[in-house]
Amino acid sequence: MTAIEAIGEPAPQPAGEPPAPQQTGEPAREAAASEAQMSEPALTGDAAGPAATGRGGVPLWVGVVLALAAGGAMLLSFPPYGQWWLAPVGVGLLAVAVHRRRLRAGAGLGALAGAALFAPLLDWTHIVGGVAPWLLLAASQAGYLAVLGLAAAWCGPLIDRHRWVWPLVTATLWVGQEALRDREPFGGFPWGRLAFSQGDSALLRFAALGGAPLVTFAVALCGGLLAAAVWRPWRSLPRRGRILGGAAALGAVLVVLAGLVVPLTQPNGKTLTVAVIQGNVPRLGLDFNAQRRAVLDDHANATLKLAQRVAAGTAKQPDIVIWPENSSDIDPLIPQDADARAEINEAATEIKAPILVGAVLEGPGQNLRNAGIVWQPGTGPVTPYYVKQHPVPFAEYMPMRGLAQMVSSRAALVGNFVPGHRSGVLNMGPATVGDVICFEIAYDNLVRSSVTGGGQLITVQTNNADFTTAEARQQLAMVQLRAVEHGRDALMASTVGVSAFVTSDGKVHDATQFNTAAELVRTLRLGQEQTLATRLGAVPEFVLAGVAVLLLVAAGVVRRDRRRVALAGRSLGDQARSDQARSDRAGSDEAERPDALA
């Protein structure tokens, strides 16, 4: 009996033979018991059937190899490697590894894939936090893939009963997993979403319809189709199985090609000349206060240098200027730092354009705020300014500080940044920008609120000085997705790189080198219209995650039915054996009667 026959498809009758006659009575009961025993393994673990007992899947050691390969493939899809096509391959490998596995094995294989992905992907975090926090963060993110592997294993019987549902199960479970990971704990950590690996892929265009969740859905749908195409028991079927496998592989290609025809929203407002200042930072030989002043000096001097080029006619006059996050770690709004205020005033006056300054503000009390302040030439800072709404836990503030200090001595150095409570919509004279700071670019709701609030241009102020080129390029890939998602030109301004402009089609322009000083000037167009993704917000994610929940429930029903069939088969088998025992005893009694001996 083949694997497909064992899940309910009847075996074909040999050609030229009449169908077998229906059995009734005791022979029928014995046949039913025999069939149940053949089609449903003994109840062990979570439920009966191949998907619940680990039977029918790839050997466990192969599953381990596939899970590690899945994590590695997904890793290589992200910058700086940028092999976007490996993301669906990784999803497919993990889907095959966990199919027809016990729940514990599914969770374990998911965790292995997560470790292979997140440990190297987040390697840059150890530069600031140390090895222990890096490994704890990677392990926590791998835990979500463990939940994904468990859920996929749970859905095994549903997939076996309805083969066409495998790609849908895979895609919606990925969306559900990311929806949870993006929110919990401490506001979530969306780094490593499948959508952020697709900066150079046609699948990126799906962001205009449903944001990052729809891009993740498309990537994982391709992965599920690839898994269906190569699944051995299906491929080994006669002609029908080969046709189904080929159709699944073709379906994955068609999903990618479909991205090419997704319409994009192009900005239709006036043009704007924008300058980005990457002042760079000194590396050695300065104490903390001197370092902060040197960073401010570098950005002010780079702006004065650009003003000289404008005066000489070698650079266009910018309409607005963007400085990065932490370009002024000295609070320019308090009287004690009047010299910092004067320096920024001079830069704005010379460049003859408003500057968006990334500043660290003191207060309230002993707290700090990470802010973006519009600085007008001649008049100075404009209120209200934008305060970062999502400070990074364990980096800008310390949850469970006492416990954290037991893990890393650097925990004591973390400040106490407090969040802002308004979106980053800032009027910069000729333009209204939607500003987000650093990791906020990863959060769907924060970027969307800056656009729905009136942002015509997406600005990302970031400080990558404590990280690596890999982290900066991963962040830039998020900017690419947001530009397509909201139909806005965008930019990223970094202290040390990578700084760049991104047009609304997701294309990167004028990207800088890492650890260099640079002044970028480019003409962008302001956006007025809202994309479908902007209007829908979180609706696509909620719908797809809801479908995932319904599929999990449906899988539970199938598992219950299988358990019931297996129990019925066991009951019929027990009854048949009991009847046979009674028959044997009756025969024995008959043989012992005197007339029988005669």
Which letter does DSSP use for residue 397 in this model?
Answer: B
CA–CA distance, 426 with 433 (Å, rounded to integer): 5
Would you call 155 a catalytic residue per the annotation? Answer: no
Of 388, 440, 471, 485, catalytic: 388
Which letter does DSSP use for residue 359 in this model?
Answer: E
Specify whether the CB–CB gap between 450 and 55 falls below 8 A.
no
Of 40, 438, 440, 541, catalytic: 438
Helical spans, DSSP H, in 279-422: 288-312, 338-351, 401-407
Of 30, 178, 325, 343, catalytic: 325
* Long-range CB contacts for residues 548-555, cutoff 8 Å, separation at least 24: 548/151, 548/169, 548/172, 548/173, 548/175, 548/176, 549/176, 551/155, 551/158, 551/165, 551/168, 551/169, 551/172, 551/173, 552/151, 552/154, 552/155, 554/158, 555/154, 555/155, 555/156, 555/157, 555/158
Strand, helix or coil for residue 469: helix
Specify whether the CB–CB gap between 212 and 194 falls below 8 A.
no
Binning the chain into helix, strand and coil, the percentages to the nearest 5 are 55, 10, 30
Of 392, 405, 433, 329, which is closest to residue 191 (Cα–Cα)? 392
Q: Which two tokens stand for residue 323?
A: 């400085």
Say which residues have a Cβ less than 8 Å from residue 116's Cβ, sequence separation at least 6. Answer: 67, 68, 70, 71, 72, 75
Helical spans, DSSP H, in 401-538: 401-407, 444-452, 469-486, 532-536
Helical spans, DSSP H, in 11-82: 25-39, 50-53, 60-77
Would you call 438 a catalytic residue per the annotation? Answer: yes
Would you call 178 a catalytic residue per the annotation? Answer: no
Query: Angle 530-448-458 (CA atoms, 0-180°, nearest 5)?
Result: 80
CA distances from 206 to 168, 171, 218, 442, 533 (A): 17, 14, 8, 17, 9
Residues forming beta bridges with residue 493, ordered by sequence position: 461
Tell me which residues are annotated as active site: 325, 388, 438
